[in-house]
Amino acid sequence: MILPTKHVSAQHSLLGAGATILQFLDSPQTVTSLWERVRVSSNIEAYGRFILALDLLFAVGALDLSDGLIMRRIQ
């Protein structure tokens, strides 16, 4: 479920959800404001999945958290 496989498409993997989040993260935002923007995306689906994708992005070093704002580390 983290990575796409033969049975899990890229858009249904957490990596795909993370890619969607990075597309919406064009400026530093709070978790709430980012959630409000990405919740309309079909591959995010639920708040729990959104949080798991954020955790994955933070773990691989794609995100930073500073003063309550999430920002991209990679461009």
pLDDT tens for the 75 residues of the chain, in order:
676 667 666 667 788 999 999 999 999 999 999 999 999 988 888 999 999 999 999 999 999 999 999 999 876
Residue 1, number of CB atoms within 10 A of its CB: 12
pLDDT of residue 75: 62
- pLDDT of amino acid 13: 78
Cross-strand partners of 72: 63
Q: Where are the alpha helices (DSSP H) in 1-75?
A: 14-24, 31-38, 47-59
Q: What's the confidence (pLDDT) of residue 1?
A: 65
Task: Specify the pTM.
Answer: 0.86
Q: Which domains does the chain have, with CATH numbers?
A: 10-72 (1.10.10)
pLDDT at residue 45 in the model = 82
pLDDT value of position 3: 64
Contact 34, 24 (CB under 8 A): yes
Please give the Cα distance from 19 to 57 (Å, whole number): 9
